[in-house]
Amino acid sequence: MQDEDIVRFLDLSIDTRTDEYLRRLSTHTAHVDKYLQELNERFERFEKELRQQTIQIKRIDKMLFYNQPLIGDRYRDLGDGVALDTQTNLQWMRCALGQTWNGQTCVGEAKQFNWNDAIKIAKETRYAGYTDWRLPTIDELKTLIVTGQKPTINQQAFPNTLSAWFWSGSPNASYSGSAWGVHFGYGYADSSNRSNDYHVRLVRGGQ
């Protein structure tokens, strides 16, 4: 066999092997594509089933949530010491700042702040997974007043509330340097000098 024949033979052999390799690679790639397609379809079915299960769980949670008895015929327990006022749709801390919710009641000593510090600490407060706590407006704070008892507040929803002044976030536009608050010993609102130290109960939502 001449050298040229040998070269042609080797080239033909290489081409044949290359073609076979490419054929096998193409077959393998097709199998991989089919497997990936099946895997993607299975994932889509799983994702759809997961969404359906999540929706069902949310429906069950919602049913259980709204079947719970209201606190004092008005407030709904959201857990972690937070109560939803079903009349105003506001969410309130059940304890004054400084107190701690132990799962049953508020324990510890409620702290007092001047008005400027109360505004500041409200903005810095992180509680029950929320960061948008604030001082209530005077109108919002007055919705907590319950007359005919002392303290003048729903004591089931807000246990161990002191019969004392609580700041609102509303300044008194008529008197510079003063702001509005509510006294839960007497159940009325009035303005006072912002330098006075009063208690604070934070709220979220509304406005």
Which own/partner pairs from 160-165 qualify as long-range (CB within 8 Å, at least 24 positions apart)?
A: 160/95, 160/99, 160/105, 160/106, 160/107, 161/96, 161/106, 161/201, 162/96, 162/110, 162/199, 164/198, 164/199, 165/192, 165/196, 165/198, 165/199
At residue 7, the pLDDT reads 47
Q: Could you tell me which residues are beta bridge partners of residue 99?
A: 97
Sequential pLDDT tens for the chain (207 residues): 555 655 455 455 666 767 666 677 677 777 777 777 887 888 788 787 777 666 555 444 544 556 688 999 999 999 999 999 999 999 999 999 999 999 999 999 999 999 999 999 999 999 999 999 999 999 999 999 999 999 999 999 999 999 999 999 999 999 999 999 999 999 999 999 999 999 999 999 965
Cα dihedral 50, 55, 59, 64, rounded to 10, equals 40
Q: Could you tell me which residues are beta bridge partners of residue 192?
A: 179
At residue 190, the pLDDT reads 97
